[in-house]
Amino acid sequence: MLWIKAFHIVFVITWFAGLFYLPRLFVYHSTTEDPAGLARFVVMERRLYRFTTPSAILAVSLGLWLWWGFGFRGLWIDIKAGLVALLIAYHIYLGYLCRELARGQKRSATFYRVINEIPVLILIAIVILVVVKPF
């Protein structure tokens, strides 16, 4: 089980790297006007999303394996599972935003900066739940 835990942590880190960086690319994309720069951001965003998605799938799959393998019980694991579900929805929403930007539909840079903070807050909550197990 330690190998599963180690790889779970690795894939969580790679998933979060994408969740942190993709909205930052959106900020830069939304403030770019030149066609070459816009095209470059579309490619970068698509590639990062496609790289991050398998990491998300593996992180969640290995997390479920650990949950069932160790038989975790308590409110903390239920809350963590709910937060992971929010992260999955957030990840899917980032894919939607990638497609939106690829079509030339931009939102404000402030919007992308604000949504960039969502995974930070969820990460803090998950780490506290897993380490402290307050419930």
pTM above threshold 0.85: yes
State the chain's mean pLDDT as an integer: 96
DSSP 34: S
Question: What's residue 115's pLDDT?
Answer: 96
Complete DSSP assignment for 40-97: HHHHHHHHHHHHHHHHHHHHHHHHHHHHHHHT--SHHHHHHHHHHHHHHHHHHHHHHH
Mean pLDDT of 16-22: 97
pLDDT of residue 72: 86
Instruction: Report the Cα–Cα distance between both ends of the chain, in Å, rounded.
Output: 24
Question: What tens digit of pLDDT does each residue of 57-115 get?
Answer: 999 999 999 999 888 889 999 999 999 999 999 999 999 999 999 999 999 999 999 99
pLDDT of 46: 98
Cβ atoms < 10 Å from Cβ of 123: 16
**pLDDT for the residue 44:** 98
Task: Report d(CA 24, CA 19) in Å as an integer.
Answer: 9
Task: Look at residue 33 and tell me whether its pLDDT is greater than 90.
Answer: yes
41 pLDDT above the threshold of 90: yes
